[in-house]
Amino acid sequence: MSKTIRELSEELGVSKTAITKFLTPEKRKLFAKKIDNRLSISDEGVTIIRQHFLLKSKTKIDNRIENKSTVVDFKNHDFDFNNELLSTLKNELAEKNKQIERLQKSIEQQNILIDQQQKLTLQANQKIENLEANLEISEPQDQKKETVTSKKDEPITNKKVKNIGGNFKNTNN
């Protein structure tokens, strides 16, 4: 049964223009007859036009499927790349955390050493202060003895007395 371009376009889901473009003048001579301002396409022409547009639509579907699979492949590739990147970043983060822990332990050890050093310095300063206090207490008694002996032995003069190595010397020469 012959069909018009409009009927074929509705059946195949393509535009009338697409069918008209497909029907070149040679194909029109072979498959179409003009009836009342309309082209009537013979059964043989309808079959050829169907095959053509079905092949085209199948190709389009195949291309869409291929494009989708390409997109899926691309997404899979992106997913793999992102997983690799994530894995690398996790490893680097773990390494950085280990470095931070080592640095914190080192800082704690240094703080302990600084605290110990401060305690030792404080103890040393206290011992020095105690020794200086003992020297001040014992020094006036020694000086009194020296001045008493010097008053007996020598006439009264202004004498300076120096403490050198625990021995008092008369510097009046």
Between the alpha carbon of residue 102 and those of residues 90, 98, 106, 113, the distances in Å are 19, 6, 6, 17
Confidence of residue 173 (pLDDT cuts 50, 70, 90): very low
The reported pLDDT for the residue numbered 126 is 95
Q: Is the Cβ–Cβ distance between 167 and 146 less than 8 Å? A: no
The reported pLDDT for the residue numbered 117 is 96
Topology (CATH level 3) of domain 3-63:
Multidrug-efflux Transporter Regulator; Chain: A; Domain 2 (1.10.1660)
Averaged pLDDT, 86-111: 94
pLDDT, one tens digit per residue, over 3-61 is 777 887 788 788 878 878 887 788 777 777 777 777 777 878 878 888 887 776 666 66
